[in-house]
Structure 1
Amino acid sequence: MSSGSAAPRRGEKAQAAAVKPPMRDALVAAAFRLFLERGYEQTTVDDIVALAGVGRRSFFRYFPSKEDVVFPDHERCLADMTAFLAASGGEHEPVQRVCDAARLVLRMYAENPSFSVQRYRLTKKVPGLRAYELSVVWRYERALAEYLRGCFAGRRDGTLQADVIAAAVVAAHNNALRSWLRSDGKDDASAAVDHALGYVQARFGAASAPAADAQAEEDVVVLVSRRGAPLWRVVQEIESTLGRPGGGHENSPQ
């Protein structure tokens, strides 16, 4: 066999290897094909690896469970979010920062709209997947809350503010995201999420300002005085209420 005839075959093999999806992606593709054909509950890990042409050990090298193959990109996205928040500095306004962190999740979904829509439909049908998804969402919320707690440390109700704002960011993001998924990925996801997160910033952005706490801690004094009382008597009562001894007054009667 001449070297000239062998070279094209080597080139064909290299080309085939280049177009073949990585094993992790092949497992995800096989899993969703079977989920759509048979249903999630009726599909086993053995079915998935058989269709993908790999062994069970290869599956569990990438995914701890069948549920994880439905959400293959969330671990990466959570790591990206955590790193993004960890890189924050004093120049970053905290509420704006967690809103920007939430946009990383949107970017993950928007990278593959058809897959995201398929997953959304599947999750709606399978209660177990819905519960799994909620646990994933909680981990995002916890990452946001932990960052905000650090920003608000030592502030009055700082932990409460952090938890409430983190929950609001997640709720607003998910509201817009589900609206986009219900449109089969045809609407403008970025515009919807920007609008929803803008709603959160407008209502909670001021909570990140220390002045809000200082204002909340100001005392309010209400003084009731007799109508027609002389001004020196009113002043004397105010000073007495505030704990400031008035002493003598030039215009007060002796």
Structure 2
Amino acid sequence: MSSSSAAPTAKPPMRDALVAAAFRLFLERGYEQTTVDDIVALAGVGRRSFFRYFPSKEDVVFPDHERCLADMTAFLATSDEEAEPVGRVCDAARTVLRVYAENPAFSVQRYRLTRKVPGLRAYELSVVWRYERALASYLRGRFAGRPDGALRADVVASAVVAAHNNALRSWLRSDGKGDAAAGVDHALGYVRAAFGRSAHARSAPARSAPARFGPGHREPAPSGAPHAPQEDVVVVVARRNAPLWQVVREVETALGRA
């Protein structure tokens, strides 16, 4: 078959064409100097077509955030009651990472642009806040009825977003090189260790008495039990309402890991 009979290359969907045109102009002219009229002229469409897809010029910079938020919310909505809540919101945050990793070049380009334009940084913060609220809403439902349930939900949601964004931005600063998922997993591991079910079990609080921690404490063997080699352990006694961060910090201090 001759090359002249080959099928023509399909045009990108209009939404993608608008995004491509916008970023081309942002790079050539600068964000502030580019207007919606400039974008639609380059894309070869009318203003009505632009506003059918994007409410504002800022939205064309973040074309995938609505999809990210919808995917994350749907992911949380399908959670069953047996799912460990902290682990579940960590997994939900990974749905956002996957969208960034789908197109590293575009993600890096956008990151550089938002660093230069204060208005875009403010817009991005508002988007991040919506993610955080979605995570907190899910956790409030799971922690309902527990002491400080709403507070715990908000703290965990903030920690998940902070850990995810720390790793994501590190990857973006490296121009999208390396394993973004591994970096995010490492960061979210701190959140699960501090707030997850296993951390809660390790700090199982007593009902009274102030917290006391001591390395080298040895539990006496029950009467009549065979003597086994003794090992150094850490015994934790804490008030039921002791803040989890304080318990974790004291355990780390006792273990010499602070």
Query: Which TM bucket (shorter chain)?
Result: 0.7 to 0.9
Q: Which residue of 2 aligns with 1:94?
A: 85
Residue number among 13, 25, 49 corresponding to 2:16 in the alignment: 25
Q: Which residue of 2 aligns with 1:250?
A: none
Residue number among 53, 58, 72 corresponding to 1:67 in the alignment: 58
Q: Which residue of 2 aligns with 1:232?
A: none
Residue number among 190, 209, 219 corresponding to 2:208 in the alignment: 219
- The alignment's C-alpha RMSD in Å is 2.1
Aligned length: 208
1:161/1:207 contact within 8 Å kept: no
- The amino acid that maps onto 1:108 is V
- The amino acid that maps onto 2:135 is L
2:164/2:188 contact within 8 Å kept: yes
Q: Which residue of 2 aligns with 1:128?
A: 119
Pick the structure with more helix per residue. 1
Residue number among 42, 55, 71 corresponding to 2:46 in the alignment: 55
> Sequence identity, in percent?
80
Pick the structure with more strand per residue. 2
CA–CA separation in structure 2 for the residues paired with 1:207 and 1:31 = 47
Q: Which residue of 1 aligns with 2:68?
A: 77
Shift of residue 220, structure 1, vs aligned partner: 2.6
- The amino acid that maps onto 2:152 is Q
Say whether 1:142 aligns with 2:147: no
> Runs in 1 of length 4+ with deviation above 3 angstroms?
206-212
CA–CA separation in structure 1 for the residues paired with 2:152 and 2:198 = 7
Aligned pairs (5 A) from 1:161-240: 161-206=152-197, 215=205, 218-220=207-209
TM-score (norm 1): 0.78
Give structure 2 stretches of 5+ with no counterpart.
211-258
Give structure 1 stretches of 5+ with no counterpart.
1-7, 222-254
Shift of residue 209, structure 1, vs aligned partner: 5.2
Shift of residue 219, structure 1, vs aligned partner: 2.3
CA–CA separation in structure 2 for the residues paired with 1:78 and 1:146 = 13
Deviations 1:62-106 (A, max 9, x none): 000000000000000100000000000012100000000000010
TM-score (norm 2): 0.76
CA–CA separation in structure 2 for the residues paired with 1:105 and 1:208 = 25
Shift of residue 188, structure 1, vs aligned partner: 1.1
